């Protein structure tokens, strides 16, 4: 990340003062607190994908939706979640639940 001083145009350097990061101009001494830019880069969205494990019917409203045809009413939208079945050696089963009629079914991949 490169930032230039607003006053004199010199290259700013990042320095930590009392656990806070500042941009400092070594020429004219301008100091401004470092805004969120750096920390945003460190957090990569989409890297952590949480596997949703549903135990009860509750919480269905928070489930992600996907385009999937309901085998019962042919509605094209369904909630989905993963559930570990039987042993941990087997891949988790994906479950779907129709947003329209509430019918649920599973997919084996």
Work out whether 12 is an interface residue with Zn ion (CB under 5 A).
Answer: no
To Zn ion, the closest distance from the beta carbon of 45 in angstroms equals 32
Closest alpha carbon to 49 in 81, 25, 88: 81
In the chain, what is the straight-line distance between the N-terminal and C-terminal CA atoms, in Å? 43
28 binds Zn ion (CB under 5 A): yes
Tell me which of 23, 24, 25, 34 binds Zn ion, using CB under 5 A: 25
| Shortest Cβ 77–Zn ion spacing (Å) | 9
CA angle 105, 108, 109 (to 5 degrees): 120
**Catalytic residue set:** 89-90
């Amino acid at each position: 990340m490169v930032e230039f001083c607003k006053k004199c145009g010199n290259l700013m350097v990042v320095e930590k003062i009392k656990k806070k990061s500042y941009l400092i101009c070594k020429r004219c001494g301008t100091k401004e607190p470092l805004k969120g830019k750096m920390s945003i880069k460190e957090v990569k969205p989409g890297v952590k994908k949480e596997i949703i494990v549903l135990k009860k019917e509750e919480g269905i409203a928070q489930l992600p939706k996907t385009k999937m045809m309901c085998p019962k009413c042919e509605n094209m939208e369904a909630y989905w979640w993963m559930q570990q079945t039987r042993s941990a050696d087997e891949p988790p089963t994906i479950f779907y639940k129709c947003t329209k009629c509430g019918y649920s079914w599973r997919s084996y991949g």
